[in-house]
Structure 1
Amino acid sequence: MLMVLRSVARSSVAGVREWTCANVLAIVALLLFAARGRIPDVLSIDVANLLFLGAPALMLAGFERHLGRRAPYRALAALVTASTVALGIFHYGVDAMAVRVALSSFFHGIVCVAMAWGLRPWAHPDRARYPIRFAFGAALTLAAAHAVRAVMYASHHDAQVTLFDSSPVNLVCFALGTLALPGLTLGAVMMANAGLIGQARYAAEHDHLTGAWSRRAFFGRAERAHADAVRRGGPLSLLIFDVDHFKAINDTHGHAVGDQVLADLVARTGTVLRGDVCARLGGEEFAVLLPDTDADAAVRLADELRRTLERADVAGAGAGVVRFTVSVGVASLDEGESLESLLQRADAALYAAKRGGRNQVQDARATEDVGETLA
């Protein structure tokens, strides 16, 4: 598990450090436990218990950080300290191995329950389902195993038992305890890998500056939307728009302000056209797919977007404010029309809007009617 964790150690995945430290603590603790009778008891019992209690606590902290929450380090440290003191009492005060095992299992059970609660899949619908379900299942299984072990030893607290008692139940519980960290770590690594894959996919499909869909991702989605519209016979509309006089904004206010304008445009577009695909085709040119939207509705949405952006302002250099407008071309899919033709008509409508004075919406139908009249 340590070698597997090393493969993601240099990534930006939160929690990897805690998971790694947890496995190191577990390894050292198990080696100390195994050396009982050959090394001082303070090492094979007290230090080993402290390390073995710290391991699941760090696993929990790692999961919390990985899920974007604040790790409860103080609460975990207090719980580990209190458990270590309790174990010490039943070692030096009253030497009761069964009680120590019950207390240790109780502690591990509490931590595993907290882990399972934090990992409950229904609370994280945006996460890859299988990795988080695996980690949740592992934490829940271990919590149940520790509960059984705690009850079993607590009910025989006065019995003379050893840590390596050869009873079947003890061997099963000990095996589960030994495999606890590898099992939880496997779930953690699966979640980390799913996160890295998600980050890579997002970077490939989105423009890093504005957060809009990339050109490549847009055309992939446009092809699927086109195929779906053709199959169902439903409407499909397309907006192509760009910022008017964007070069002048860059020249006057600088490229940093120009970048803010583009980012602001995408954010406001997402507010007006919720759930639709906004993509940056290049430079200051953007496109939006409108599935299940006919030509008239698309023109109304385009004009609402234009008016929203016309009222927008972006902080410029110093105390200045930058305002911008957009020109929009609108086209809706005709029967039997290809995606390429739809894009060409929307693009032609955009250039008609720019020739007509900018800051306006041009419907491809009107552009085509003018062309037919002139012909």
Structure 2
Amino acid sequence: MLKGKNIVMGITGGIAAYKAVDIVSRLRKKSANINVVMTNSAAKFVTPLTFQSLSQNYVTVDMFEEPKTWDVEHISLAQKADLFLVAPATANVIGKVANGIADDMLTTTIMATKAKVVFAPAMNTNMYTNPIFKENVKKLKKLGYEFIKPASGRLACGDYGEGKMAQPEDIADYVTKSLISNELEGRKILVTAGPTIEAIDPVRYITNRSSGKMGYAIAEEAKNKGAEVILVSGPTNLEKPSGVKVIDVTTTEEMLMVIKDNLEESDVLIKAAAPLDYKPKEFSKSKIKKNDGNMELEFVRNSDILFEIGKNKGDKILVGFAAETDNIIENAKNKIKKKNLDFIVANDISKKDVGFISNHNMATIINRKGDIDNYPKMTKSELAKVIINKVQSHLK
């Protein structure tokens, strides 16, 4: 996602420095290259070796230590940066930058960079509300510097109020959005993910093997491109993506109702979920006791979500999935016509190393004109990029 992007991250002396470890980790997982610059005070809270291990780059602390290259280090880092993040940013470093003071490696590098500089403040609530600090922030904002608003809560000193550094996931999301294009800004995308569950009795239920990973990856990619995303999720064990509104459902009928409630304001519906086609005709309020004979259950059809939505989709972009074991292309093409889809993502679930539980997928995408694109085995995050790019093309 951030492959090829260079982030210089400044870390200053505050207890929130421990959260910076998580920020570096999250950005590295997005394939960003991270160079860390620490103040001497920051190194009292977390060792440079920690950030060096996570970033896989040498960490700079002392401005006058023997250089590791022939480059003038603060200039080379300043020029290298696509974005400069300071987290945590103390009142001290913000005051220095606001007044043109460059007396250590961090402030010198900030002074020399032409990249976007983003501060994530962290300090005592009285410091945060101090009028001198407020004037420094106001001055820097006028000059184009950006700030990630801190949260309110119990601070390390025991006070309660504003000044608590924003959560690492929110800071990582802010940086990600700043570094990638926002082609989908202003668009609303509805994504479904995971299985549904239909109860048999208070103990038993039926479901399927869907993990929700594909739908979650699509929601994340759409969000990263600036879209407002609602993720309608069946039961999964996945961490909810930050910056995405998640609505949890259990049954197929619940999923259909939530989609209908949110469809009118959406531009796109991507139905990556695997809702159950059938449910038990009757739910037993008491546990069904086993006996010497076989147990027979009668099943009835659930609503076909895509068919119901496709009947009156209007100008909405409607994307479906086809998890098949036989006649994949033929079955997928039939679904496009029957359910009025713009395109469908078909995959062979008989393959053991791709599909439901796997982190990888291998898909064939077919549009309503019958054009077929085959894709090799790739991660679900990579396939999510392909799908969202096709959605963009349809929106254009």
In the superposition, the TM-score normalised over structure 1's length comes to 0.29
Q: TM-score, normalised by structure 2?
A: 0.28
Query: Which structure features the higher share of helix residues?
Result: 1
